[in-house]
Structure 1
């Protein structure tokens, strides 16, 4: 079946970043179609998913929260009570001196919020059918793109069910293995850390007190991130569940993954220095290899990449999704400028010309590259076992922790605002 190209923007990828872009454009009354390879979930499907705790969690910055508010999703997340706000961040070295602590004990203020992925997705998807969104948004569920063809005025896209779509602007939001990026012939720089991350949900003896923690060990990095309380039992004794991300050399990670849950729980508690006492329960253990990647370009005529399709970073700072949502903010801003110019000067080129997309690339490319290399550098610095490097690192952390303006600067950068 052939669809008329009513829409001016076609987004491939219905994850959090792609769905947020779709809502942001539709809320601005810009026609958009979202192609999501995942099947449409019914209300009962969602109820089943949210009845369980997801060990994964996204550390949403203040900038990301603001964007989700703008598209009407954060309000739903807040109503669900499935978020864990944090007002402090604590970073320390197990065998070093000094620690970095962000946040004020006497006057706690929100630094961000930890939210499970499917809670964010549910809030976004629920907005698709709202009256202010649905007239401008078409969502295609459960179909994969089989071919992309660039034409002089846009892209022709065919799905595996034979349906075709034509769009002035094609946006790739289809993840690290992006088919859109590959089909567009955009090369990729990659960096393997030769590390594997172990993730899971843990229940600790002591409460986390709305604090995100990260400890640098001799050759690994362990993060403990607050999780929302799910069951009535959790809520009666709150703030004991956390998500862990433990980045280790791959051989050590593989050895830990052979342990029983009780044995692994003991290893996690020991690695944290018993910061919150024993780990009394662990569930949903999983692992994934760690690498960084960066597309050599974000745009081509009539095409833009956002989120993991364009860049992927080390998880040590929890900034991957936040960087993708900042891509959304930047892309919508330049498209809005383009739209306003076209309306004021009808003789000008239409929506999303190449110069517009290049402005988006200039806004985001250098920043994302800097963040990727910064995280790589921090990972190298804190897992390097060369004695002189360790000494410099220890002294540096101790001195930085005492410089209040510098700590405030780091806190502001982490917030994304």
Structure 2
């Protein structure tokens, strides 16, 4: 029987970052990873390939990764693509928004965020959680899944049983195990869900023109189309930099599923046309995949001795690229609340109900606002009603007017950075 202050189920980016934050405060943590353990050679094989997926890390997420020591490793790897501008436009109508634009060409542009492939972040965190410097406080169990959870009462917390029969007791159980969270289901926490009836096509493309450190998003009648800068990973890439990008193309589900069956070059042609050749022709296309789009939010983020973070608590439409950033804000809020209340109690109360409810009050309303805002934006641009003349005129005029108000644009840019 193992005893811990905190048991985190799910060692993805959000779960591993929380573990490191708590370990920094010298709190005992056990981290459960259902994936088999990887060694450095396995990681290098994964990192040797370009990933079509990319996370748009906000400044707040970067600061958190820096706090735990992961950002320094990401920078050293060279596998990041900073962006200093964000361009949002619609093809069918007037209106364009350009965030981060500076009229002073002698001043270096301020970074709005950074695009990083998931495996790059996970590898950096893997190195840290496996370091000898944290082994006194952090236990990692890889290749095991949780098969049972028993609440033993508020004083004792949870007893979790793994598929090899190991039982672990913890005062606090953290569900960081994704959208289909086993922890959430076992706790009996229900979901509010929204199916957009859309599917996103994801791929990596090499464009004729450079992206110029700009994240782009076209608001199309069929859904959003994001072009997100990717890091240059090969010598050939670095010789002509800023030509690789990650694509997230939202389409009606049937249309996306039909398109994904076509030849790569056919998809590339359709994609270039959809962007109105903003960056010229698509010269290469790799790693085409698709995934259905839904939004969801747990009706509660907490129960006695239990808390949800990241995708286990909420999932949003990808049109603003804020899913991971919201999860990282969960980590920051939860770790601060836990450590603050523990110190205030004279180091006697860890993860009690009052602490967890305070975390929920700080995060759930914000995440709910983000989820509904992204849904509203999706409704405003996609679908039959969005293409009616009155809605088009309101949308175009609104984008035009907002783009002229520089203080408002700076506020939007600050909100996108998460700080």
Mapped pair 1:65 → 2:62: yes
Mapped pair 1:365 → 2:364: yes
Task: Provide the residue aligned with 2:337 in structure 1.
Answer: 334
Task: Provide the residue aligned with 1:74 in structure 2.
Answer: 71
Mapped pair 1:295 → 2:298: yes
Offset of residue 129 of structure 1: 2.9
Task: Provide the residue aligned with 1:35 in structure 2.
Answer: 32
Mapped pair 1:377 → 2:376: yes
Question: How far does the alpha carbon of each residue in 1:205-228 deviate from its partner, in whole angstroms, 9 at most, with x for none?
Answer: 011011000001122210000000
**Which of 206, 210, 214 is matched with 2:217 structurally?**
214
Matches within 5 A, 1:6-405: 7-105=4-102, 106=105, 107=107, 108-152=109-153, 153-343=156-346, 350-383=349-382, 384-405=386-407
**C-alpha separation in 2, matches of 1:61 and 1:195:** 25
Offset of residue 396 of structure 1: 0.3
**C-alpha separation in 2, matches of 1:123 and 1:191:** 34
Root-mean-square deviation (CA), in Å?
A: 0.9
Offset of residue 331 of structure 1: 0.3
Offset of residue 27 of structure 1: 1.2
Between 49-58 and 105-114, report the one with greater CA deviation: 105-114
Gaps of 5+ in 2: none
Question: How far does the alpha carbon of each residue in 1:159-201 deviate from its partner, in whole angstroms, 9 at most, with x for none?
Answer: 0011110000000000000000000000001000000000000
**C-alpha separation in 2, matches of 1:23 and 1:336:** 13
**C-alpha separation in 2, matches of 1:193 and 1:60:** 24
> Does structure 2 retain, via aligned residues, the 8 Å contact 1:27–1:132?
no
Between 49-58 and 216-225, report the one with greater CA deviation: 216-225
**C-alpha separation in 1, matches of 2:212 and 2:38:** 34
**C-alpha separation in 1, matches of 2:54 and 2:231:** 10
> Does structure 2 retain, via aligned residues, the 8 Å contact 1:313–1:375?
yes
> Does structure 1 retain, via aligned residues, the 8 Å contact 2:303–2:353?
yes
TM-score of the aligned structures, taking structure 2 as reference length: 0.97
